[in-house]
Amino acid sequence: MATEGDVNAASTTNVCPDGGKKNRKGKKHQKSHEEMLLDPTPSEALTSHPPSTTEASDEERGEEAIDVTTGKKWVTSVEVARQAVEILGRRMNVADGKFKTLEDFTLEETENIRKELEGR
């Protein structure tokens, strides 16, 4: 058991004599948050523009209003085509299910098909 006068050497290895302040020789002065806000960097100074006090209308700029009805018609026709392809795909799957493969035929039916094809 340790008394008040005893000090464990391992517990004092990371203690700084000046209360935790490290010697920072040669370190540059860092600006405070306020100094950084007041002093813009060169790139900010070049890209900053004063706010515009007047707004030009579309007519003054020579721009026309965009007609979106053509776009809406196009979207509608694409959606109709997509639905048609979906319906055709479903019907083709049903038709594919009705076709027989060669394995589905009996030996007699296979022979009849072969003879019919040879006769053509």
In the prediction, which pLDDT does 28 show?
Answer: 61
Is residue 21 predicted with pLDDT exceeding 70?
no
Do 16 and 22 meet the contact criterion of CB atoms below 8 Å apart?
Answer: yes
Residue range(s) defining the domain that contains residue 114: 68-120
Structure tokens at 117: 């094809």
Asked, for residue 119, whether it belongs to a domain, the answer is: yes
pLDDT band at 113 (very low <50, low <70, confident <90, very high): confident
| Backbone torsion region of residue 19, taken as left when φ is above 0, otherwise alpha when ψ lies between -120 and 50, otherwise beta | left
Provide the 10 A C-beta neighbour count for residue 110: 13
pLDDT confidence of residue 25: 60
Measure the CA–CA gap between 29 and 66, rounded to whole angstroms: 55
Report if residue 52 sits inside a domain. no
Averaged confidence pLDDT in the chain: 69
Which of 18-27, 45-54, 90-99, 102-111 ranks highest by mean pLDDT? 102-111
Q: Which residue has the higher pLDDT, 38 or 76?
A: 76
Number of domains in the chain: 1
98 within a domain of the structure (yes/no): yes
What does the pLDDT average to over 39-61? 59
Rounded to 5 degrees, what are φ and ψ at 56?
-85, 140
For 85-110, what is the mean pLDDT? 77
In angstroms, the CA 39 to CA 29 distance is 15
Domain contains 44: no
93 against 48, higher pLDDT = 93
What is d(CA 111, CA 91) in angstroms, rounded to the nearest whole number? 31
